[in-house]
């Protein structure tokens, strides 16, 4: 309740506009509470802060930005209805940062984006399920799960790993993960010695921990949401063989350390889909760091997940700027499609008429002491 009240207060402050300026509405529907709250609360704080920051500097094309958000509690049964309600009542020019495979797929199936030519910039899912026909309004800035798991698998293979165990979420997200795992198994000739499922929102991972340890893997692929991965690691006591552990890009290293403890988090490999936000040679990263130093960025961590949120906000706002003083969803969509070989403060973005995956960065970071991520 305190978090909701704080976010509500931030939002009410963020939508105050000068009488002489028109409003351009940007929307977000995501899991601020529920199983995704570990990251959802902070990313929403960042989003509100950055909209305020842009407005304080004069807005975009003389217009003030207005942010409208709804909390779907990471429940795909709520996501599509909330997106439709926001479109009908708030007239946004686009949505930012959808979260979750099942959630995004529910929105696609509803047809509400296509009917309104409504763009979505940034989706926190790498599933192929939401990258096929019918998903043309989704503009992705991260590689898919196939690529993330291929990157992890290639590294594991080079150090001689053959026996792997997999933790996955028992829903469409997990189904997509298992499809990507199957491709990696075929290419790298792994033996999957165990697949342990969990339900979204589960808190007790002692059963999955025992099941995986008993299977004696050389590596464990933790293919879950941040809360699930962290709770698994909190319950995990490494056997003498000490299997290598890998997880996906949306798991923040600092959060992993805070929940699981330094001993359990250290050494975990985390796939990365954006550059290191602390690298000064990338102008976009410098912009991110400068934002964090302002009052608007107070309390927002410098980590890859928040940098990805920032990237998506910058991209959306740049598309709104390029759409002119009277942007519409259709105009913003067309601008995004036209961004072929575009450089966003030094970061390459490339969409097209038939391409909705605009960035292809990949790396693997390793969690060090105090949750520091090295890559």
- SS3 state at 241: coil
Residue 147 is encoded by which pair of tokens? 């690529």
Which CATH topology does 145-248 take? Rossmann fold (3.40.50)
- Domains of the chain by residue range: 2-142+279-349, 145-248
Give, for all 375 residues of the chain, the pLDDT tens digit: 444 444 554 444 444 333 346 999 999 999 999 988 889 999 999 999 999 999 999 999 999 999 999 999 999 999 999 999 999 999 999 999 999 999 999 999 999 999 999 999 999 999 999 998 899 999 999 999 999 999 999 999 999 999 999 999 999 999 999 999 999 999 999 999 999 999 999 999 999 999 999 999 999 999 999 999 999 999 999 998 899 999 999 999 999 999 999 999 999 999 999 999 998 899 999 999 999 999 999 999 999 999 999 999 999 999 999 999 999 999 999 999 999 999 999 999 999 999 999 999 999 999 999 999 999
Is CATH 3.40.50.2300 correct for 2-142+279-349? yes
Q: Do domains 2-142+279-349 and 145-248 have the same CATH topology?
A: yes
Global confidence as pTM: 0.89
Give the chain's length.
Answer: 375
Three-state secondary structure readout of the chain: CHHHHHHHHHHHHHCCCCCCCCEEEEEEEECCCHHHHHHHHHHHHHHHHHHHHHHHCCCECCEEEEEEEEECCCCHHHHHHHHHHHHHHHCCCEEEEEECHHHHHHHHHHCHHHHCCCCEEEEECCCHHHCCCCCCCEEECCCCHHHHHHHHHHHHHHCCCCEEEEEEECCHHHHHHHHHHHHHHHHHCCEEEEEEEECCCCCCCHHHHHHHHHCCCCEEEEECCHHHHHHHHHHCCCCCCCCEEEECCCCCHHHHHHHHCHHHHCCCEEEECCCCCCCCCCHHHHHHHHHHCCHHHCCCCCCHHHHHHHHHHHHHHHHHHHCCCCCCHHHHHHHHHHCCCEEECCEEECCECCECECCCCCEEEEECHHHCEEC
């Amino acid at each position: 309740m305190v978090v909701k009240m704080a976010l509500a207060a931030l939002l009410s402050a963020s939508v105050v506009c000068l009488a002489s300026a028109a409003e351009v509405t940007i929307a977000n529907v995501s899991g601020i509470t529920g199983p995704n709250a570990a990251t959802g609360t902070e990313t929403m704080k960042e989003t509100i802060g950055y909209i305020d920051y842009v407005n304080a500097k004069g807005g975009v094309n003389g217009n003030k930005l207005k942010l409208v958000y709804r909390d779907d509690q990471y429940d795909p049964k709520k996501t599509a209805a909330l997106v439709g309600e926001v479109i009908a009542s708030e007239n946004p020019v686009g949505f930012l940062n959808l979260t979750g495979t099942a959630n995004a797929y529910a929105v696609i199936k509803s047809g509400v984006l296509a009917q309104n030519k409504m763009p979505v910039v940034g989706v926190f899912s790498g599933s192929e399920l939401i990258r096929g026909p019918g998903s043309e309004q989704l503009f992705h800035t991260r590689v898919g799960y196939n690529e993330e798991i291929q990157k992890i698998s290639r590294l594991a293979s080079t150090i001689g790993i053959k026996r792997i165990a997999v933790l996955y979420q028992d829903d469409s997200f997990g189904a997509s993960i298992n499809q990507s795992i199957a491709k990696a198994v075929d290419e790298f000739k792994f033996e999957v010695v165990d697949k342990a499922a969990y339900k979204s929102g589960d808190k007790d991972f002692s059963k999955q921990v025992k099941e995986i340890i008993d299977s004696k893997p050389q590596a464990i692929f933790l293919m879950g949401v941040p809360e699930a991965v962290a709770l698994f690691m909190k319950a995990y006591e490494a056997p003498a063989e000490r299997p290598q552990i890998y997880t996906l890009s949306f798991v923040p290293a600092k959060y992993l350390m805070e929940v699981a403890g330094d001993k359990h988090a250290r050494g975990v490999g985390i796939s990365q889909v954006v550059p290191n936000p602390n690298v000064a040679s990338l102008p976009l990263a410098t912009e991110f760091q400068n934002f964090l130093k302002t009052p608007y960025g107070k309390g927002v961590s410098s980590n890859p997940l928040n940098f990805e949120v920032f990237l998506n906000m910058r991209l959306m706002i740049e598309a709104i700027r390029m759409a002119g003083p009277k942007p519409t969803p259709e105009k913003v969509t067309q601008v995004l499609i036209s961004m072929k070989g575009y450089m966003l403060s030094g970061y390459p973005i490339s969409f097209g008429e038939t391409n909705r995956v605009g960035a292809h960065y990949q790396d693997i970071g390793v969690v060090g002491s105090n949750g520091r991520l090295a890559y």
